[in-house]
Amino acid sequence: MSRPLRTLPQKDSARNIKSRVGAGSIKGDCDLFKGFPKTIFHIMEGRMENPETEMRAYDLMQPGRRLTPLVFASPHSGRHYPADFVSRSQLEGHQLRSSEDAFVDRLFDDVPNHGAPLLAARLPRAWIDVNRAADELDPALIEGQRRGAHNPRVASGLGVIPRVVSGGRPIYSGKLSQTEVRDRLRHAWQPYHASLRRLMNESVEAFGQAILIDCHSMPHEALDQVRVQGRRPEVVLGDRFGASAGRDITDMIEAEFAREGFVVSRNSPFAGAFVAQHYGRPRAGRHVIQVELDRACYMDEATLTPHSGFADVKARLTAVVARLCQTGRRDESLAAE
């Protein structure tokens, strides 16, 4: 008999979580993940025979009232691993988790207390990547999938259903069926994006604009060749070189991170992927900024555990969030559903 799905403790804002896809169930801590702290990840029971009630695609933490056009999202911090996925993978647990933006949702979980929503994917990036287009399908992984125009993300194994994790390590020993891929898209990708679209639309309707802060983390080594005035950056802001957000919006966000002592790079080495490209329409008042945080700032990448600097980094990020959420603030607010 399945048990209710456990989630990481959420300080302050847990009461604001509203789920758009049904409740989940888990199996408990899997032997593959021995040696890691409990409740860092979850192994989910069953084969999604009724995903509407067995699994949730995301958690949505809403404020009591919407006070700002800002929307925050964490598409890659999901840590609820379907049991059949774990058992079929040829990778060990810590290898599967290497693509995860671990703990990013926890770093930003104070967002609802400042009048903005936080949307966080629950399912892992290694299982489905909601920062990819639904048609970024990999013929090297999916049975019967026709080759389309060259797509460097798909070619490298990082399509919407990833073939590899970081370091190019293959997840599977064989191919996936078209049916399984469609199920993942229908029960995870589509609900996540339906919620994100709705949040953006609500901001535009209530405040005249929407500003999406798409929250990510990056391996420390990704910054080896990047310097900002001789210093290694800790935060990379991606606005697709101005295509996904107005310059004034990006300037404001960069200034707030710099005010908290973060060294900030813009568009290098990450300029923004599908979410920024698809939702960013600055001329229509829809701005998207991808925020990448160096994982070494807050966690041990070898053990995938927060280190002693986690609380300090979270406090600095919360200060950034608090000031950003003053942007476009109005007395007329949108009541949370």
Ordered by start, the domain boundaries in the chain are 3-131+192-331
- 3 state SS of 286: strand
**Residue 11 DSSP symbol:** T
Q: What pLDDT is stored for residue 42 in this prediction?
A: 55
Report the phi/psi class of residue 203: left, alpha or beta, with left for phi > 0 and alpha for psi in -120 to 50. alpha
Rg value, the chain, Cα: 19
The pTM (predicted TM-score) of the whole model is 0.85
| Cα gap 187→205, rounded to integer Å | 28
- The Cβ-side half-sphere exposure at 65, using a 13 Å CA radius, reads 9
Structure tokens at 313: 């980094």
- Whether the bond into 162 is cis, omega within 30 of 0: no
Report DSSP state, residue 147.
P
For residues 160 and 180, the answer to whether their CB atoms sit within 8 Å is: no
C-beta of residue 213 within 8 angstroms of C-beta of residue 73: yes
CATH of 3-131+192-331, one of 3.40.630.40, 2.40.30.20, 3.60.20.10, 1.20.1250.20: 3.40.630.40
Q: Which amino acid is at 95?
A: Q
pLDDT value for 329: 79
How far is the C-alpha of 132 from the C-alpha of 293, rounded, in Å? 20
Which two tokens mark 6?
Answer: 């456990």
Which region holds residue 315: left if phi is over 0, alpha if psi is between -120 and 50, else beta?
alpha
Written as tens digits, the pLDDT of the chain (337 aa) is 323 322 323 333 333 434 333 222 223 333 333 333 333 445 544 343 444 444 789 999 999 999 999 999 999 999 999 999 999 999 998 999 999 999 999 999 999 999 999 999 999 999 999 999 999 999 999 999 999 899 999 999 999 999 999 999 999 999 999 999 999 999 999 999 999 999 999 999 999 999 999 999 999 998 899 899 999 999 999 999 999 999 999 999 999 999 999 999 999 999 999 999 999 999 999 999 999 999 999 999 999 999 999 999 999 999 999 999 998 876 544 443 4
Q: What is the pLDDT of residue 12?
A: 33
What is the rounded CA–CA span in Å between residue 186 and residue 181? 9
Which of 178, 244, 202 minimizes the C-alpha distance to 337?
Answer: 202
Torsion angles phi and psi, residue 33, rounded to 5? -105, 20
Q: In this predicted structure, what is the pLDDT of residue 37? A: 38
Q: What is the DSSP letter of 176?
A: B
Task: Output the pLDDT for position 69.
Answer: 97
Cα dist. 327→66, 69, 71, 262 in Å?
Answer: 12, 7, 12, 20
